[in-house]
Structure 1
Amino acid sequence: MSARVPQPVPRPHPYLDHPLPLPFAHRGGAADGLENTAAAFRRATAAGYRYFETDVHTTADGRLVAFHDATLDRVTDARGRIGELPWSAVAEARVGGTEPLPLFEELLEEFPHARWNVDLKAESALRPLVDLVRRTGAWDRVCVGSFDEGRVARAVRLAGPRLATSYGVRGVLALRLRSLGVPVPLRPGAVAAQVPETQGGVRVVDRRFVATAHRLGLQVHVWTVNAPDRMARLLDLGVDGIMTDHLQTLRGVLTERGAWV
Structure 2
Amino acid sequence: MLPYLRNVGRNGEQRPVALSHRGFSLDGLENSMVAFEAAVELGFGYLEIDIRTTRDGVVMVFHDALLDRVCSASGPVAERSFDELRTVHIQGAEPIPTLEEVLTRWPAMKLNIDIKDDASVEPFVEIVERLGAHDRVLVASFSDRRRLRVLRLLSRPVASSAGQACSALLWLLSPLGQTRRLARMVRVDCLQVPVRHAGVTVVTERFVRRCRRAGLPLHVWTVNDPEAMERLLTLGGGVDGLVSDRADLLAEVMHRRGCWPQ
Q: Shared fold (TM-score greater than 0.5)?
A: yes
Tell me the equivalent position of 1:241.
241
User: Unpaired segments of 5 or more residues in structure 2?
Assistant: 9-14
Mapped partners of 1:135, 1:26: distance in 2:
26
Tell me the equivalent position of 2:193.
195
For the residue of structure 2 that corresponds to 1:191, the secondary structure is: coil
The CA deviation string for residues 129-159 of structure 1, in whole angstroms up to 9 with x for no partner, is: 1111011100000001011111111111111
8 Å CA contact retained: 2:220, 2:241: yes
Tell me the equivalent position of 2:35.
40
- Which shifted more, 77-86 or 157-166? 157-166
Tell me the equivalent position of 1:9.
none
Tell me the equivalent position of 2:66.
71
Q: TM-score, normalised by structure 1?
A: 0.91
Tell me the equivalent position of 1:52.
47
Q: TM-score, normalised by structure 2?
A: 0.91
Mapped partners of 1:250, 1:182: distance in 2:
32
Mapped partners of 1:68, 1:177: distance in 2:
28
The CA deviation string for residues 66-102 of structure 1, in whole angstroms up to 9 with x for no partner, is: 0000111100111110101111111111111110000
Q: Does 1:22 align with 2:47?
A: no
8 Å CA contact retained: 1:224, 1:242: yes
Mapped partners of 1:30, 1:53: distance in 2:
13
The CA deviation string for residues 100-138 of structure 1, in whole angstroms up to 9 with x for no partner, is: 000000100101110000001001111111111011100
Q: Does 1:13 align with 2:2?
A: yes
User: Cα–Cα, structure 1 residues 142 and 171, in superposed 2: closer, same or farther, change >3 Å?
Assistant: same
Question: Superposition pairs for residues 211-226 of structure 1, below 5 Å?
Answer: 211-226=209-224
User: Unpaired segments of 5 or more residues in structure 1?
Assistant: 1-11
| TM superposition shift of 1:182 | 7.2
8 Å CA contact retained: 2:134, 2:156: no
Tell me the equivalent position of 2:101.
106
8 Å CA contact retained: 1:24, 1:241: yes
For the residue of structure 2 that corresponds to 1:211, the secondary structure is: helix
Q: Does 1:230 align with 2:228?
A: yes
Mapped partners of 1:144, 1:94: distance in 2:
26
CA RMSD between the two structures:
1.5
8 Å CA contact retained: 2:53, 2:60: yes
User: Cα–Cα, structure 1 residues 183 and 24, in superposed 2: closer, same or farther, change >3 Å?
Assistant: closer
8 Å CA contact retained: 2:25, 2:38: no
| TM superposition shift of 1:160 | 4.7
